[in-house]
């Protein structure tokens, strides 16, 4: 029983961390229409940034600034935002597939730099030497995982509330207008370039926060954690859950991460031995099929975007209702 509960906490922690990343992507794609094909670069910047800033001194690579954990985590998120700002300045004139290709290339570059710049990142061996926060108090067992899950869940709720408020505000209206028709927005006096950049950086800070939490949870990060696969998984979560709907984004994270882990478990348990070599590939095919099926039959996702309504003359902020 405790084993099951322990696993549930472990699973929910990872799913919640991924949900934060999906929420960040949702701000970029769901609300602004920015096709970020390199999610993992910002996730990785947050992860490496947090460990470098908060880690203990290392002989063979950068790190050991030993900052207090909240500062290290925030610093990682800021690093992701800084990366997004530079990338944004360079690429935000690009639209749609071109932006996707450019950001995908940046993510592959990021992975290769982390793999090869050993003095910065520890190289292919990964980044070690990070003490998880409050380990003295909670130890290494179930109590710690429970503590860390509550931290992650708190941050997930905070990010969700922040974004809900943001997308219901005039800023959110502006994002959606730019997503729908940038030229029409320009003809109504709006300057889309700055708004796109703001959305891209903000979304990337959130993705970086998720990366920082992920690295904290494992007290480790390596180039294997920032492969394009993760970008693909986070996109699958958003598409399945529902782009343009923050609840959908979070739901998608839990469903796809559930499908991913369950399929991995089922394959290892029931598949013939010779198929087990290909477990990872079979999982990709499975998730890919889910994406294709969703795009064919329910492209709006399980929880579609809802229309912001006028709530008939009440001078309060717009309320969500069925579209």
How crowded is residue 318: how many other Cβ atoms within 10 Å of its Cβ? 16
Our finding on whether 307 is near another protein (CB under 8 A) is yes
160 binds another protein (CB under 8 A): no
Closest distance of CB 171 from another protein, Å: 5
Strand partners, 320: 308
Minimum distance, C-beta of residue 310 to another protein, in the bound complex (Å): 5
Q: Which two tokens stand for residue 115?
A: 């793999």
Give the CB-side neighbour count of residue 250, counting CA atoms within 13 A: 16
Give the binding-site size for another protein (rule: CB under 8 A).
Answer: 34
Decide if 318 contacts 309 (C-beta within 8 A). Answer: yes
Determine if 183 is a binding residue for another protein (CB under 8 A): yes
Report helix, strand or coil for 320.
strand
* Residue of the chain from 89, 143, 157, 323 that contacts another protein (CB under 8 A): 323
Using the minimum distance from each CB to another protein, give the nearer residue, 62 or 193: 193
Binder to another protein among 61, 115, 176, 196 (CB under 8 A)? 176
Task: Tell which one of 95, 132, 173, 247 touches another protein (CB under 8 A).
Answer: 173
Q: Give 30's DSSP letter.
A: I
Q: Which of 8, 184, 262, 275 binds another protein (CB under 8 A)?
A: 184
Which of 57, 187, 296, 297 binds another protein (CB under 8 A)? It is 187
How far is residue 110's CA from residue 128's CA, in Å, rounded to a whole number? Answer: 18
Closer to another protein by CB, 155 or 174: give it: 174
Q: Which of residues 226-265 bind another protein (CB under 8 A)?
A: 244
What's the sign of the alpha-carbon dihedral 246, 251, 254, 258? Answer: negative
Q: Which part of the chain contacts another protein (CB under 8 A), choosing from 125-133, 251-259, 272-280, 314-322? A: 314-322
Element (DSSP H or E) covering residue 280:
helix 279-297
What tokens appear for 66 in the block?
A: 């030993």
Q: Between residue 195 and residue 224, which ones bind another protein under the rule CB under 8 A?
A: 195, 198, 202
Shortest CB 169 distance to another protein, Å: 4
Q: Which stretch binds another protein (CB under 8 A): 6-14, 39-47, 108-116, 302-310?
A: 302-310
DSSP state letters, 220-236: -B-GGGGSHHHHHHHHH
Hey, what are 141's tokens? 């067992």
> Phi-psi region for residue 301, left (φ > 0), alpha (ψ -120 to 50) or beta?
left
The per-residue b/e assignment along 112-130, b for 16 or more CB within 10 angstroms, e otherwise, is eebbeeeeebbbeebbbbb
**305 forms part of the interface with another protein (CB under 8 A):** yes
What is the rounded CA–CA span in Å between residue 221 and residue 126? Answer: 6
Out of 190, 232, 279, 291, the only residue in the binding site for another protein (CB under 8 A) is 190
Choice between 26 and 202, CB closer to another protein: 202
Rounded to whole angstroms, the Cα distance separating 310 from 144 reads: 46
67, 132, 308, 320: which one contacts another protein (CB under 8 A)?
A: 308
Candidate ranges 107-115, 147-155, 168-176, 254-262; the one touching another protein (CB under 8 A): 168-176
Interface positions with another protein (CB under 8 A): 165-166, 169-171, 173-174, 176-177, 180-181, 183-191, 195, 198, 202, 244, 305, 307-310, 313, 315-317, 323
């Amino acid at each position: 029983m405790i084993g099951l509960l322990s696993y549930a906490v472990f699973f929910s922690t990872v799913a919640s961390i991924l949900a934060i990343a999906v929420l960040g992507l949702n701000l970029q794609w769901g609300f602004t229409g920015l096709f970020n094909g390199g999610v993992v670069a910002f996730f990785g910047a947050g992860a490496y940034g947090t460990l470098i800033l908060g880690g203990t001194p290392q002989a063979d690579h950068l790190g050991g600034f030993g900052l207090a954990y909240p500062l290290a985590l925030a610093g990682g998120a800021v690093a992701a935002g800084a990366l997004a700002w530079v990338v944004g300045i360079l690429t935000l004139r690009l639209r749609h597939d071109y932006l996707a290709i450019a950001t995908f290339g940046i993510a592959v570059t990021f992975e290769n730099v982390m793999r090869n710049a050993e003095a910065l990142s520890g190289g292919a061996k990964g980044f070690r030497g990070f003490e998880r926060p409050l380990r003295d108090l909670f130890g290494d067992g179930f109590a710690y995982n429970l503590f860390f899950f509550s931290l992650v869940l708190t941050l997930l709720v905070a990010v969700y509330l922040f974004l809900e408020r943001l997308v219901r505000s005039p800023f959110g209206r502006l994002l959606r207008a730019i997503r729908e028709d940038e030229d029409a927005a320009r003809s109504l006096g709006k300057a889309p370039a700055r708004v796109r950049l703001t959305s891209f950086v903000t979304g990337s800070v959130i993705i970086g926060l998720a990366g920082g939490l992920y690295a904290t949870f494992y007290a480790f990060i390596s180039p294997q954690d920032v492969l394009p696969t993760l970008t693909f998984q986070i996109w699958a979560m958003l598409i399945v859950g529902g782009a343009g709907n923050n609840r959908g984004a979070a739901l998608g994270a839990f469903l796809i991460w559930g499908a991913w882990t369950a399929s991995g478990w089922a394959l290892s348990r029931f598949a013939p031995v010779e198929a087990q070599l290909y477990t990872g590939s079979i999982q990709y095919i499975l998730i890919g099929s889910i994406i294709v099926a969703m795009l064919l039959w329910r492209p709006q996702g399980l929880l579609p975007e809802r229309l912001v309504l006028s709530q008939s003359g009440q001078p309060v902020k717009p309320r969500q209702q069925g579209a």
